Amino acid sequence: MTFITTQIKWIMLITGLVTCSMFQAFLFPENGLNMLFGASIDGPIADVVVRNWGALIGIVGMLLIFGAFKPHSRPLILILGAGTKIIFIGLILIYGSDYLETARGAIIFDSLAILLYLIYLIQNRRELTF
């Protein structure tokens, strides 16, 4: 077994806890946007969309924490986690060049998480069942 395979529980716990920090955008939409992008949007629809976005990301974090303790669910959760992080990074790179500087920390964190998840999935592909 490799280091990543033996430590996947801790990798999922840590990345899950950090990902859960986006519940902040659910509770305080303006603070969540300012933290991640250094900007905010106003209006009732912004509150709905940003709160929903924060809740969905937080739920992915909760799934990562759940998967840390339930090995049989890890493949699906890691694919879901990597997928959502890939979409976020892609959208920032395509549409959010003005926010690259502020979002750099999240992009680096998510890129590292994606890499670790994919290495685990590739190294354990023979044991993966859905």
The backbone torsions φ and ψ at residue 63, rounded to the nearest 5 degrees and listed phi first, read -65, -40
* Domain count along the chain: 1
Domain range for 91: 3-127
> What's the whole-model pTM score?
0.92
pLDDT classification of 82: cutoffs 50, 70, 90: very high
- What average pLDDT does this structure show over 87-98? 95
In the prediction, which pLDDT does 1 show? 66
How far, in whole angstroms, is CA 67 from its chain's centroid? 14
Q: pLDDT tens across 5-47, in order?
A: 999 999 999 999 999 999 999 999 999 999 999 998 888 899 9
User: What does pLDDT average to over the chain?
Assistant: 94
